[in-house]
Amino acid sequence: MASQNAFPTGVRRIYFGASVRKTFSNIVEQIIKRDERVVALLGDIGVHSFRESMELFPNRVINIGILEQSMIGIAAGLSKQGLIPFVHTIAPFMVERALEQLKIDFGYQELGGNFVSVGASSDYSALGCTHHCPGDISILLTIPGFELFAPGTANELKQAIESSYANSLPTYYRISEVSNTEDLSNTENKGTLVKEGTKCSVLVFGPMLDKTLDALAELDVEILYFYKLNPIDKDLIRRNCQSGKILLIEPFYSGTMTSIVSSLIPKRSKIVTIGYPREFLRNYGTLQEHLEFIGFTEDKIRKAVVNLISVD
Amino acid sequence: MDSAIGTLKVIRKRILEVAFQAREGHIPSSFSILEILYSFYLRSSKLLQQNDCFVMSKGHAALGLYATLEHFNLIPREWLDSMCKFNSQLGGHPDMRKIPTLEASTGSLGHGLPYGLGLALGKSIKGENGSVYVLIGDGELNEGSNWESLLVAKHRKVSNLSLIVDFNESSERALSLGNLREKFESFGWRVVEIDGHSLDDLERFFTQVNSKPSSLPTALLAKTVKGKGIKRIENSPEWHHKTPSQQELEEFILELQ
């Protein structure tokens, strides 16, 4: 994949759509059909997508209600019985409202489970801060043993689920309305060196790869891509990132990945991030407007890199 | 039953001695639920096939649980002798990854009922026999997660789930629960009320809940006394998380005999 011209440039590739979310219900419905250990708990969302399997497997596809603490606790009990729970709701209600259930019932008790959220940082842009969750990844990084995925494509989500759903670990899958054009799924969920370069190293986590590639196609910078965030592909970061100038493209709270990355790169490297600011984003509007406001634009990414390259 | 009463005195003495030695342990909470724990594990030790699950949600009563497990030879005696030391298997709240016989690691209140509901649903999905018993304190009923789970258990007819409430009126210190029977019944649960220190009542409950099938989950309101067995400790908030001095230990042991 290491090529200067891995993707055509000059086209606006970023797109929004329900494709990854739609894929989720398809993947899980397929798994439910072939693996009788799997039980899906829906927090009264995604019910329409699961209507077929709810009819076929009423005991294993359950719209449990709007009660996130109980939903996670119930999932843990199912897991202790040897079953494999999938839990699905909007990110803040899963991660923030039921955090202690994730921490104790799954993390501390070392039980496996699958937590699939929608909404990401501010996909529900017009609905306001109650439905935003830019903190999910940094919060879940505080629970030892949690696997974290931020898939950028439907195939990456499929690969993540297929490889992890039955591995007895708690795993979080962050579904976003933003997706990447190029699928970089691989069997070990490793990172990918998308573009080689020497002046600066840009690390992209999940969606936002298209913008980054378009912004930096002409510059002598390397671009690394990751859809598995924890445990992250440390070797790829260690083998690369020698430029001493690092830009993190984080579609969640800015700085979320800083401490992990900084432990893997040469000392005295300079790290800059483009991500959600640590404040309540009280604007409404479209997701596109949110992304532009935050700095997920070709122009702002290019400027950040040019600035980084120019400083000593 | 007389020998059982004698046994329970021995277990209470062990609890006092371990708390004295470790300078740790919630004695009144442990004494409040001791007959409940003893009855469950006695019954389970007699069953040829053990299909039941027990979740002690009120993890702070760990010392009572440990002493009961020790009595039924489910943990080695050395474990309790070294409770709460740096490398101990047994701490102030139980860790199921250190105590294989346990179903849950508890300590934060309000986790046991949703978890036990999941265990019970899991049994149904797998077509397994046996019941799931979750023991909580009445104070723990302040936690909203319980009430969420009461709704789900009724709606999904989780009849293999029993919630045992150690009803020692701890909640009254902060929040009156009103008429608990009415509350549970209004949530659609079958309610049984007993004396939580009566081994006869408890044996009858554990036998009947299994022999009389119902489509409803069951709430057992077990009326208990916090600190049961030692007058100075009974219902004394001061003793909630206090351990005895040498002199108090001797006095309490005398009182037990």
Are residues B126 and A100, on separate chains, in Cβ contact within 8 Å?
no
Average pLDDT per run of 10 along chain A, which is 312 residues long? 43 54 91 97 94 95 98 98 98 98 98 97 96 98 98 96 98 96 96 97 96 96 98 98 97 98 96 97 96 95 97 81
Using the Cβ of A63 and the Cβ atoms of chain B, whether some distance falls under 8 Å is answered with no
Asked if B155 and B212 count as a contact pair (C-beta separation under 8 A), the reply is: no
Cα–Cα distance measured from residue A102 to residue A84, given in angstroms and rounded to the nearest whole number: 15
Cα–Cα distance measured from residue A286 to residue A171, given in angstroms and rounded to the nearest whole number: 29
Residues B224-252: what's their mean pLDDT?
Answer: 96
Structure tokens at B42: 């006695």
In angstroms, the separation between the Cα of residue B114 and the nearest Cα of chain A is: 5
Using the Cβ of B216 and the Cβ atoms of chain A, whether some distance falls under 8 Å is answered with no
Best B95, B103, B145, B158 member to test A by mutation, with max A CBs in 10 Å, is: B145
Q: Give the pLDDT confidence score for residue A13 in this predicted structure.
A: 46
**B66-102 pLDDT per residue, tens:** 999 999 999 999 999 999 999 999 999 999 999 999 9
Q: Give the pLDDT confidence score for residue B2 in this predicted structure.
A: 75
Using the Cβ of A105 and the Cβ atoms of chain B, whether some distance falls under 8 Å is answered with yes
Cα–Cα distance measured from residue A305 to residue A299, given in angstroms and rounded to the nearest whole number: 10
Q: Give the pLDDT confidence score for residue B212 in this predicted structure.
A: 76
Using the Cβ of B111 and the Cβ atoms of chain A, whether some distance falls under 8 Å is answered with yes
Using the Cβ of A60 and the Cβ atoms of chain B, whether some distance falls under 8 Å is answered with yes
What does pTM read for this prediction? Answer: 0.95
**B100-130 pLDDT per residue, tens:** 999 999 999 999 999 999 999 999 999 999 9
For A38, name the nearest residue in chain B, comparing CA atoms only.
B125
Of the candidates B97, B114, B119, the beta carbon closest to that of A110 is on B97
Which helix (H) or strand (E) segment is B114 a member of?
helix B112-126
**A168-192 pLDDT per residue, tens:** 999 999 999 999 999 999 999 999 9
Are residues A65 and B152, on separate chains, in Cβ contact within 8 Å?
yes
Residue with tokens 């440390």: A234
Q: Give the pLDDT confidence score for residue B11 in this predicted structure.
A: 98
Of the candidates A59, A69, A108, the beta carbon closest to that of B114 is on A69
pLDDT, mean over chain B: 96
Which residues from A are below 8 Å from B122, CB to CB? Answer: 39, 77-78, 80-83
In angstroms, the separation between the Cα of residue A76 and the nearest Cα of chain B is: 6
Q: How many C-beta neighbours within 10 Å does residue A259 have?
A: 11
On the question of pLDDT at B250 being above 80, the answer is yes
Instruction: Classify residue A187 by burial, with Cβ atoms within 10 Å: 0-12, 13-18, 19+.
Output: exposed
Are residues B122 and A105, on separate chains, in Cβ contact within 8 Å?
no
Are residues A77 and B124, on separate chains, in Cβ contact within 8 Å?
no
Using the Cβ of B131 and the Cβ atoms of chain A, whether some distance falls under 8 Å is answered with no
Which residues from A are below 8 Å from B120, CB to CB? Answer: 77
Which residues from A are below 8 Å from B114, CB to CB? Answer: 69-74, 76-77, 101, 105
**B127-165 pLDDT per residue, tens:** 999 999 999 999 999 999 999 999 999 999 999 999 999
For B98, name the nearest residue in chain A, comparing CA atoms only.
A109
Using the Cβ of B117 and the Cβ atoms of chain A, whether some distance falls under 8 Å is answered with yes
Are residues B114 and A100, on separate chains, in Cβ contact within 8 Å?
no
**A11-41 pLDDT per residue, tens:** 444 445 557 888 899 999 999 999 999 999 9
Cα dihedral B183, B188, B194, B197 sign: negative
Sheet holding B161-167, edge to edge: B53-56, B132-137, B161-167, B218-223, B190-195
Using the Cβ of B139 and the Cβ atoms of chain A, whether some distance falls under 8 Å is answered with no
On the question of pLDDT at B32 being above 90, the answer is yes
Q: Give the pLDDT confidence score for residue B1 in this predicted structure.
A: 61
Q: Give the pLDDT confidence score for residue B47 in this predicted structure.
A: 85
Render the burial of A8-18: b for 16+ CB within 10 Å, e for the rest.
Answer: eeeeebbeeee
**B52-62 pLDDT per residue, tens:** 999 999 999 99
Q: Give the pLDDT confidence score for residue A2 in this predicted structure.
A: 43
Domains and CATH numbers, chain B: 2-256 (3.40.50.970)
Q: Angle at Cα A255 formed by Cα A199 and Cα A103, nearest 5°?
A: 140
Of the candidates B95, B105, B149, the beta carbon closest to that of A70 is on B149
